[in-house]
Structure 1
Amino acid sequence: MMPSVMTESSDKETEAFVEVDPTCRYGRYPELLGTGAVKKVYRAFDQEEGIEVAWNQVKLRSFSNDPSMIDRLYSEVRLLRSLKNNNIIALYDVWLDKLHGTLNFITEVCTSGNLREYRKKHRQVSLKALKKWSKQILKGLHYLHSNDPCVIHRDLNCSNLFVNGNVGQVKIGDLGLAATVRKNHSAHSVLGTPEFMAPELYEEHYTELVDIYSFGMCLLELVTLEIPYSECDNVAKIYKKVSSGIKPQALGKVKDPEVKAFIENCLAESKVRPSAADLLRHPFFREIDDDENEDDNNDH
Structure 2
Amino acid sequence: MNGTIVLDSDDSEFVEVDPSGGYGRYNEILGKGSSKIVYRAFDEYEGIEVAWNQVKLYDFLQSPEDLERLYCEIHLLKTLKHTNIMKFYTSWVDTSNRNINFVTEMFTSGTLRQFRMRHKRINVRAIKHWCRQILHGLLYLHSHNPPVIHRDLKCDNIFINGNQGEVKIGDLGLAAILRKSHADRCVGTPEFMAPEVYEEEYNELVDIYAFGMCVLEMVTFEYPYSECTHPAQIYKKVMSGKKPDALYKVKDPEVRVFIEKCLATVSDRLSAWELLNDPFLQIDDY
TM range, normalised to the smaller chain? 0.7 to 0.9
Cα 1:150–1:36 change in 2 (3 A) is same
Aligned match for 1:232, one of 228, 250, 258: 228
Aligned match for 1:106, one of 103, 106, 117: 103
Question: 2 CA distance for matches of 1:135 and 1:71?
Answer: 36
Question: 1 CA distance for matches of 2:31 and 2:267?
Answer: 37
Secondary structure of 2:31's aligned partner: strand
Identical-pair percentage: 58
Aligned residue number for residue 168 of structure 1: 165
Aligned residue number for residue 295 of structure 1: none
Q: CA deviation at 1:261?
A: 0.4
Q: CA deviation at 1:71?
A: 6.8
- TM-score with structure 2 setting the length: 0.87
Question: 2 CA distance for matches of 1:196 and 1:224?
Answer: 15
**1:70-109 paired onto structure 2 within 5 Å:** 74=71, 77-109=74-106
Aligned residue number for residue 195 of structure 1: 191
Q: CA deviation at 1:38?
A: 2.6
Question: 1 CA distance for matches of 2:116 and 2:68?
Answer: 34
Cα 1:171–1:72 change in 2 (3 A) is farther
Aligned match for 1:277, one of 264, 273, 281: 273
Question: 2 CA distance for matches of 1:73 and 1:42?
Answer: 22
Q: Does 1:206 align with 2:202?
A: yes
Aligned residue number for residue 6 of structure 2: none
Aligned match for 1:64, one of 45, 48, 59: 59
Cα 1:137–1:75 change in 2 (3 A) is farther
**1:176-195 paired onto structure 2 within 5 Å:** 176-178=174-176, 190-195=186-191
Cα 1:224–1:76 change in 2 (3 A) is farther
Secondary structure of 2:241's aligned partner: coil
CA contact (8 A) 1:151 1:178 kept: no
**1:219-298 paired onto structure 2 within 5 Å:** 219-288=215-284
CA contact (8 A) 2:74 2:176 kept: no
Which of 33-42 and 240-249 deviates more?
33-42
Q: CA deviation at 1:36?
A: 3.0
- 5+ residue gaps, structure 2, are 1-8, 178-183
Secondary structure of 2:28's aligned partner: strand
Q: CA deviation at 1:216?
A: 0.3
Q: Deviations over 1:206-241 (max 9, x none)?
A: 111111010000000000000010001101110111
Aligned match for 1:33, one of 27, 30, 33: 30
Q: CA RMSD in A?
A: 2.3
CA contact (8 A) 2:75 2:90 kept: no
Which of 214-223 and 98-107 deviates more?
98-107
Q: Deviations over 1:259-288 (max 9, x none)?
A: 000000100110010000000111111135
- TM-score with structure 1 setting the length: 0.83
- 5+ residue gaps, structure 1, are 1-10, 180-187, 292-300
Q: Deviations over 1:21-67 (max 9, x none)?
A: 2332211111111223332110001111110001112233xx13444
Aligned match for 1:141, one of 138, 154, 168: 138
Secondary structure of 1:137's aligned partner: helix
